[in-house]
């Protein structure tokens, strides 16, 4: 699905510049000529995203946040433990992810991301193997459950376990890190790479 989605994206857009993940993917699959695409600044990826700040207990909307929130340090979630951030983006749609929420886990004190993966049920074992063997997650570092009503994988994971994570990063950098991880996970799951 990722390859198909990306081929459709390239057809619909005159891709002169792509973000790092898409550029590498397009070159790897010979969708573009290597060296012909300029790499876009990663800070631009989510400038048009829909972002909400919501209350963790009630899930009530606190505020629709603009792109300025992405410049705040990730520690904003430590200072506002009652909140979670919810983001919808065309970029998540492209890779088959149904929005992403980011919050501070109350019990363990780590940053947690929650999302829906639009992958078939048959990918379950492959996803678990990748998470544990390829990405170094322990079973307690993630939760993965297929929702047959929605046809998606409900997936939550410890953001602190991702390569390149640091607590002083911005919220935008954290969402970009989550995006990069999900892109790699979905690509490897669909291609049977472990």
Query: pLDDT, tens digit, for every residue of 93-106?
Result: 999 999 999 999 98
| CATH, residue 124 | 3.30.1460
Domain that holds residue 16: 1-40
Cβ–Cβ under 8 Å, residues 62 and 83: yes
Query: pLDDT, tens digit, for every residue of 150-178?
Result: 999 999 999 999 999 999 999 999 999 99
Counting the structural domains of the chain, the total is: 2
Q: Do residues 181 and 138 both lie within one domain?
A: yes
Residue predicted with more confidence, 191 or 98? 98
Query: pLDDT, tens digit, for every residue of 40-69?
Result: 898 899 999 999 999 999 999 999 998 899
What is the signed CA dihedral for 98, 89, 94, 114, rounded to 10 degrees? -30
User: CA distances (Å), 69 to each of 53, 74, 81, 127, 181, in order?
Assistant: 10, 10, 16, 31, 21
């Amino acid at each position: 699905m990722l390859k198909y989605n990306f081929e459709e994206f390239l057809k619909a857009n005159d891709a002169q510049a792509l973000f790092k993940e898409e550029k590498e993917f397009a070159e790897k699959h010979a969708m573009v000529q290597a060296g012909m695409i300029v790499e876009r600044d990663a800070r631009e990826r989510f400038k048009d995203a829909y972002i909400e700040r919501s209350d963790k207990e009630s899930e009530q909307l606190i505020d629709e946040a603009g792109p300025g929130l992405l410049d705040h340090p990730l520690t904003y979630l430590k200072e506002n433990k009652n909140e979670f951030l919810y983001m919808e983006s065309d970029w998540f749609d492209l890779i088959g992810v149904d929005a992403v929420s980011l919050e501070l886990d109350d019990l363990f004190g780590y940053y947690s991301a929650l999302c829906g993966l639009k992958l078939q049920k048959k990918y379950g074992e492959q996803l678990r193997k990748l998470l544990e063997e390829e990405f170094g997650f322990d079973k307690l570092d993630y939760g993965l459950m297929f929702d047959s009503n929605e046809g998606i994988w409900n997936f939550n994971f410890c953001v602190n376990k991702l390569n390149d994570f640091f607590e002083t990063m911005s919220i935008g950098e954290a969402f970009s890190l989550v995006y990069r991880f999900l892109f790699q996970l979905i690509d490897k799951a669909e291609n049977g790479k472990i």
